[in-house]
């Protein structure tokens, strides 16, 4: 293995940046490989084009005849761009994407070859569902699952394959994917947000949830990655002493992008442009070899698809640049991990961002309505929001210095806090003309002015208002954005539904004017949601104590966090909003818990194998060299050798201690695994978390100490200082 490490180092040092030519403007490339409106107008009849538009805008069904027409046009467009195959592209509950390619190629009865693609193949397919996670939704022998075309997310060409975004459901209709619940949640937020928006503008007929994600990631040389079995199999370095120079000097953040990384980004962005992914921002992040890219805001369903697609693209492009992308939330100990901040807002079909203050008091009252309802939704469902970002890998990041804690809270800044404090004083019942005038002119009317200098930024807040959107910062870099977006849009939809019912009741039964009713309901929401608002240091012990007083959950681990998903309150919420039924919720709980177990189980096995097969033999080999040296000194200096060999003898003793520790801890860890594996899923997850995981730290500590002692040329694994040095 030591040969492999130095071979990898040599390969890495001899790398030449892959030259990427940028000969076309981004605007010229954008969407060329997407079956969007421009492409559809070129190959579809007017009736077919309008059928797709109706399906996108209203959810209208597309009949068989029209589907055949659309498929014919889509095939013509794809063939002209060099496509040879097509696939239904979907997002099963593995967290990744899935696809089964079929050729356009068919044979006629005369044996001739033709390109064929019919409406039936466009609208629905039946991939084998037997090996996808299902959480007990179906029996083992019932392998059928169906993919169905989602026209709201346009088809695209990746390499030579036409990819058709689809939902994935069981033959009994339950969602087996991430997209189906997302589409349901987006439909729910559209309906209920539109109903509330009509209080302020009756012309509003549709509200769209928007999403802008920020993808953080690490890049390391592919040869160095290949020399690390832990990185290749788990996505993170399970062992490895922190380098002397990490991120202490803050010299990487927003610094000059390394040439190899920059060329990778250039090619990636070219591919993104062709596929209609509107990436805009790229920069160095805080940790060495850590970077970020972010797109322009999009409709949430499309944004989720684009994030899933870009993670696949990043792997493909990185391999051409002899790089490996690490999405793990904490791939290296001692330096910042990676998140995927989800920036969320609501936009009307009249062109208004509902979370952005306007130019009139009425527009600002609209802003406050959606702003306060969102805070209230988070307050009512903070444990569920935490569960939406729970994973074995994100557990390593949440609560670290670069990420928010596991306690959910909302940060809004001192300016908006002052506004809410004023609104809290609103009179119960009908407002006097003077109070209403004062509120509209001096409180609500001045919101845009006070936000001009809203420079407060609290990086320890999991859910923060940042001017015209809420930023959900607890989302991990590996997370499919659909998970938190399903929860966030569902809880806000439910809250808006309740809000409208309360306002209408005051208008109908108390004969209040609309504004009076809205102010009255918002006042009560401000009072009841105070406990979720927090402006201070999320890492402080004082906040942890205060959060406990406020009865906020503090679920540090995935097994703790996921429990809320199977509670009656959550089941009632999702069923009321027609997003997921109890069977689908229970299935996701089982799948996510099982994944947690498997992740730790795999890491445990890999850690034991590396420590036992690589670290211990290397330490013994070096120890033997020291023993040989001591014996040589003894032969030469006889009785005086102990004084001369004192350091060597101490090293021999320390190495023995660490070898013994590793051996014992591996044995104990294996026994803990055996204990866990005999239990049911819920108890197994808890034992893996409480009894297996703790051995990771003790084994790592002993191994990292040996790394500092053993002669460098003997050490078998690429060291963190080498992995984090992208030449």
Domains of the chain: 20-176 (3.10.20.70), 187-541+550-580 (3.30.590.10), 595-724 (1.20.120.1560)
pLDDT at 26 over 80: yes
For 438-465, what is the mean pLDDT? 76
Q: Answer with the residue of higher pLDDT: 467 or 455.
A: 467
Lowest mean pLDDT among 288-302, 427-441, 533-547: 427-441
| Measured distance CA(425)–CA(66) in Å, rounded | 58
Lowest mean pLDDT among 148-162, 248-262, 562-576: 248-262
CB atoms within 10 A of CB 569: 11
pLDDT at 44 over 60: yes
Contacts of 74 (CB under 8 A, 6+ apart): 35, 43, 117, 122, 155, 162
Q: Please, are residues 274 and 332 in contact by the beta-carbon 8 Å criterion? A: no
For 371-390, what is the mean pLDDT? 97
**Predicted pLDDT of residue 457:** 62
End-to-end CA distance of the chain: 23
pLDDT at 78 over 90: yes
pLDDT in tens, 319-336: 999 999 999 999 999 999
Q: For residue 628, what pLDDT band results from cuts at 50, 70 and 90? A: very high
Q: For residue 128, what pLDDT band results from cuts at 50, 70 and 90? A: low
DSSP 165-230: EEEEEETTS-B-BSHHHHHHHHHHHHHHHHHHHTTT-TT---EEEEEEEEEEEEEEEHHHHHT-HH
For 688-705, what is the mean pLDDT? 97
For 421-450, what is the mean pLDDT? 84
| Measured distance CA(453)–CA(440) in Å, rounded | 21
| Three-state helix/strand/coil letters over 643-681 | HHCHHHHHHHHHHHHHHHHHHHHHHHHHHHHHHHHCCCH
Q: Please, are residues 405 and 558 in contact by the beta-carbon 8 Å criterion? A: no
pLDDT in tens, 190-242: 999 999 999 999 999 999 999 999 999 999 999 999 999 999 999 999 999 99
**Predicted pLDDT of residue 455:** 46
- Backbone φ and ψ of 421, nearest 5°: -60, -40
DSSP 579-606: S--HHHHHHHHHHHHHHHHHHHHHHHHH
pLDDT in tens, 66-75: 999 999 999 9
**Predicted pLDDT of residue 46:** 95
On average, the pLDDT of the chain sits at 92
Determine how β-strand 85-89 pairs with β-strand 102-103. antiparallel
* Contacts within 8 Å (CB) and 24+ apart, 524-527: 525/372, 525/373, 525/375, 525/376, 525/499, 526/372, 526/420, 526/423, 526/424, 527/424
**Predicted pLDDT of residue 361:** 86
pLDDT at 444 over 90: no
Lowest mean pLDDT among 54-63, 369-378, 593-602: 54-63
pLDDT at 456 over 60: no
pLDDT at 608 over 80: yes
For 259-279, what is the mean pLDDT? 96
Contacts of 56 (CB under 8 A, 6+ apart): 151, 152
Q: For residue 403, what pLDDT band results from cuts at 50, 70 and 90? A: confident
């Amino acid at each position: 293995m030591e040969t492999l490490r130095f071979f990898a180092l040599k390969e890495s040092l001899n790398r030449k940046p892959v030259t990427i030519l940028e000969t076309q403007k981004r605007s010229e490339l954008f969407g060329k490989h997407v079956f969007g409106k421009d492409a559809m107008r070129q190959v579809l009849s007017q009736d077919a084009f309008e059928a797709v538009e109706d399906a996108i805008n209203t959810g209208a069904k597309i009949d068989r005849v029209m589907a055949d027409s659309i498929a014919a046009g889509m095939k013509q467009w794809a063939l002209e761009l060099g496509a040879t195959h097509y696939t239904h592209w979907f997002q099963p509950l593995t967290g990744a994407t899935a696809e089964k390619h079929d050729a356009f190629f068919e044979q006629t009865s005369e044996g001739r070859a033709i390109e064929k693609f019919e409406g039936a193949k466009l609208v629905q397919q039946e991939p084998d569902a037997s090996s996808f996670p299902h959480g007990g939704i179906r029996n083992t022998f019932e392998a059928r699952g169906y993919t169905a075309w989602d026209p709201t997310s346009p088809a695209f060409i990746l390499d030579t394959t036409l990819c058709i975004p689809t939902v994935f459901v069981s033959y009994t209709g339950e969602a087996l994917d991430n997209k189906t619940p997302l589409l349901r949640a987006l439909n729910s937020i559209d309906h209920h947000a539109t109903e509330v928006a009509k209080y302020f503008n009756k012309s509003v007929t549709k509200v769209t949830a928007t999403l802008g994600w920020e993808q953080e990631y690490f890049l390391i040389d592919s040869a160095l990655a290949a020399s690390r079995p832990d990185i290749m199999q788990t996505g993170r370095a399970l062992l490895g002493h922190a380098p002397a120079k990490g991120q202490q000097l803050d010299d990487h953040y927003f610094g000059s992008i390394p040439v190899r990384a920059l060329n990778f980004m250039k090619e990636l962005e070219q591919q993104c442009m062709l596929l209609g992914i509107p990436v805009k921002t790229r920069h160095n992040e805080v940790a060495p070899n850590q970077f970020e890219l972010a797109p322009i805001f999009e409709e949430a369903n499309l944004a989720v698809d684009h994030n899933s697609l870009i993670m696949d693209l990043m792997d493909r492009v990185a391999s051409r640049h002899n790089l490996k992308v690490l999405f793990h939330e904490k791939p290296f100990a001692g330096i910042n991990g990676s998140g995927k901040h989800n920036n969320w807002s609501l936009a009307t079909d009249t062109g208004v961002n509902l979370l952005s203050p306007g130019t009139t008091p009425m527009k600002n009252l609209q802003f406050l309505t959606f702003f306060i309802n969102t805070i209230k939704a988070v307050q009512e469902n903070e444990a569920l929001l935490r569960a939406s970002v729970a994973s074995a890998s994100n557990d390593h990041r949440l609560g670290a210095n670069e990420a928010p804690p596991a306690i959910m809270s909302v940060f809004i800044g001192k300016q908006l806090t002052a506004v809410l404090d004023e609104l809290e004083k609103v009179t119960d019942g009908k407002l006097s003309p003077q109070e209403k005038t004062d509120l509209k002119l001096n409180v609500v009317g001045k919101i845009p002015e006070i936000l001009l200098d809203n420079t407060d930024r609290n990086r320890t807040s999991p859910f923060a208002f940042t001017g015209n959107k809420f930023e959900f910062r607890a989302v991990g870099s590996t997370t499919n954005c659909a998970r938190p977006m399903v929860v966030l849009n569902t809880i806000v939809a439910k809250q808006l539904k309740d809000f409208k019912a309360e306002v209408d009741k005051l208008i109908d039964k108390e004969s209040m004017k609309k504004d009076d009713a809205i102010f009255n309901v918002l006042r009560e929401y401000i009072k009841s949601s105070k406990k979720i608002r927090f402006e201070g240091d999320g890492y402080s012990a004082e906040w942890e104590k205060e959060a406990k007083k406020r009865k906020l959950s503090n679920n540090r681990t995935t097994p703790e966090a996921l429990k809320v998903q199977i509670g009656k309150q959550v089941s009632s919420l999702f069923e009321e909003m027609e997003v997921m039924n109890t069977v689908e919720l229970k299935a996701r709980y089982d799948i996510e818990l099982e994944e947690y177990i498997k992740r730790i189980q795999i890491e445990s096995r890999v850690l034991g194998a590396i420590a036992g097969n690589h670290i211990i033999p290397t330490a013994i080999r070096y120890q033997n060299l020291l023993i040989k040296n001591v014996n040589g000194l003894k032969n030469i200096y006889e009785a005086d050798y102990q004084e001369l060999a004192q350091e060597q003898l101490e090293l021999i003793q320390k190495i023995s201690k660490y070898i013994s520790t590793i051996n014992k801890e591996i044995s104990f860890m294996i026994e803990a695994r055996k204990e866990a594996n005999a239990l049911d899923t819920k108890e197994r997850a808890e034992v893996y978390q409480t009894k297996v995981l703790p051995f990771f730290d003790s084994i790592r500590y002993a191994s990292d100490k040996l790394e500092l002692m053993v002669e460098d040329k003997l050490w078998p694994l690429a060291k963190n200082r080498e992995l984090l040095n992208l030449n």
